[in-house]
Amino acid sequence: MARGIRAGGVGTDRGGRVPTVSTPTAVLGAGSFGTCLAMLSAREHDVKIWSRRPEVAEAINRSRRNPRYLSGFELPPRVEATDDLREALAGRELVIVAVPSHALRDVMCRAGPFIEPGAIVVSAVKGIEYETGLTMHGVLEEVLGPEHHPRLVALSGPSFAAEIARQRPTVVTLACREEVFAISVQATLSCPWFRCYTHTDVIGVETAGALKNVIAIAVGISDGMDGGLNARAALMTRGLAEITRIGVAQGAEPETFLGLSGMGDLLLTCTGDLSRNRRVGLGLGQGRRLEQIKAELGEVAEGIETTRAAVRLADRLGVEAPITNLVRAVIDGEKTPGEAGHALMTRQLRSERERKP
C-alpha cells in the first residue's frame, strides 16, 4: 500500500488537519495539467515529472521552468524531470497520469512494467477511447496488471491548470472503487487551496469529466454565433441531461452528475475563458476552420476527439445524444453552426422528464 495508508495518513490531528507524510510521486506528462500537479505535489513530496521530449526535461532541470507550458511559473526544487519512464517510476508510491487521452494506452503500456506493485495510480486524463468506447479507467484496466486495478483513482472536477499553479482555491473529486485508496490520495494532495473529495462511482466521474468537453464546444459555438445567454443556459442544462443519460446507461449513479465532476466541471468548462474546448467552439461559431483553431491553441482540446467517440458510444448504448451528434457534424464539416442550431431547436417536441425504460 502507499505510504499515506501505511503511516495512517488518512487520519487527522486535533486541529482537524491531515498530517503530512512524504510520498515519492511520479507525474507522467509535462503538459499544463501535469506541470501544475507536479507543482502541487512538490509542496511536501519528492516529485519526478516525465516528459516525452528530452529537451523539455532538460530545460526544467536547468531553468526550473517548463519551456512549453505554464512557463511563467518557477517549479519547486523538489521537482526533477526526466524523459525516461523507468527512472520516473522507480520507487514512486503515487503515480499521477496527465497525458493526452489518445496517448494514454501507449504511454501506460510502456510504463506498466516499471510501476511499483503497491503504487496508487491517479488518472487526471479526461476522454473516451474512440475504438473501444472505454473511459480512461477502462483503458488502464486493460493495459495494467490486475494487481493495480484496486488502486486506480480518477481525478476530475472544475480545475484549470493555470489557476492551480497560481494557488487559487480549487476543489476536485477523487474516485476509486476501493475508496480507501482515494482517501489516501486525498490526504496526500489536499492543502488549504486544493481540496479533494472522494467518491466510488468511477464510471460516472469519468464519463462526466469527458463529455462536459463536448458540451463546452456546443456552448462555444452558440456564443461564437452570438446565440445569447438563454441559449447558453439551455445547452448546459440539456447537455447535462445528455451526459447523465450516457453515464447511467453504463451503470453510473445519476447523483454523480450533480457533483464536482459533473455540474461543477461543466459550468467551468462552458463559461471559463481558459477552456480550450470552449475556444474551439467559439472559433467554429465564428466561421473559422477547425485546423486553424487547433493550430492557434497549441495544446490538445480533448473535446474534439471525445465528441467523435461519444457519438459511437451513445449509438452503441442506444442513448439519444442530439447535442453531441450535432457538435460532431459541425466539427466534421457536415453542417454549419447555423444549420446545427436550427436542427436542435426544431426537433420533435417532448416532455422534459426523462422516460424510464
- From the CB of residue 163, how many other CB atoms can be counted at a distance below 10 Å? 17
Task: Work out the percent of the chain whose per-residue pLDDT is above 90.
Answer: 91
Q: Is the pLDDT of residue 158 over 80?
A: yes
State mean pLDDT over 122-133: 96
Under DSSP, the state recorded for 260 is I
Residue 299: the pLDDT is 80
- Class of 209-345 per CATH? mainly alpha
Helix (H, G, I), strand (E, B) or coil at 120: strand
pLDDT score of 298: 81
Residue 215 — pLDDT band, cuts 50, 70, 90? very high
pLDDT surpassing 60 at residue 75: yes
- 212 counts as catalytic: yes
- Residues forming beta bridges with residue 97, ordered by sequence position: 28, 123
* Per-residue pLDDT band at 160 (split at 50, 70, 90): very high
Residue ranges of the domains in the chain? 3-200, 209-345
Q: Is the pLDDT of residue 1 over 60?
A: no
Rounded to the nearest 10°, the torsion over CA 321, 323, 328, 333 is 140
Q: Which residues are CB-neighbours of 14 under 8 A, at least 6 positions away?
A: none
Q: What is the pLDDT of residue 9?
A: 37
pLDDT (tens digit, 9 = 90+) per residue, 248-290? Answer: 999 999 999 999 999 999 999 999 999 999 999 999 999 999 9
What is 3-200's CATH number, 3.40.640.10, 3.40.50.300, 3.40.50.720, 3.10.350.10? 3.40.50.720
Residue tagged 516525452 (cell numbers): 52
Q: How many CB atoms lie within 10 A of CB 269?
A: 27
Q: Does residue 231 surpass a pLDDT of 50?
A: yes
Beta bridge partner(s), residue 152: 121
* For residue 138, pLDDT beyond 60: yes
Query: What's this model's pTM, rounded to 2 decimal places?
Result: 0.92
| Alpha helix segments (H runs only) across the chain | 3-6, 32-41, 54-63, 85-89, 104-111, 136-143, 161-165, 179-189, 202-224, 229-249, 265-271, 276-285, 290-297, 303-317, 322-331, 337-345
Q: Which one is catalytic: 212, 294, 335, 356?
A: 212
Nearest-CA neighbor of 54 among 82, 88, 28? 82
Residue 324: is its pLDDT beyond 80?
yes
Residue 327 banded pLDDT, cuts 50, 70, 90: very high
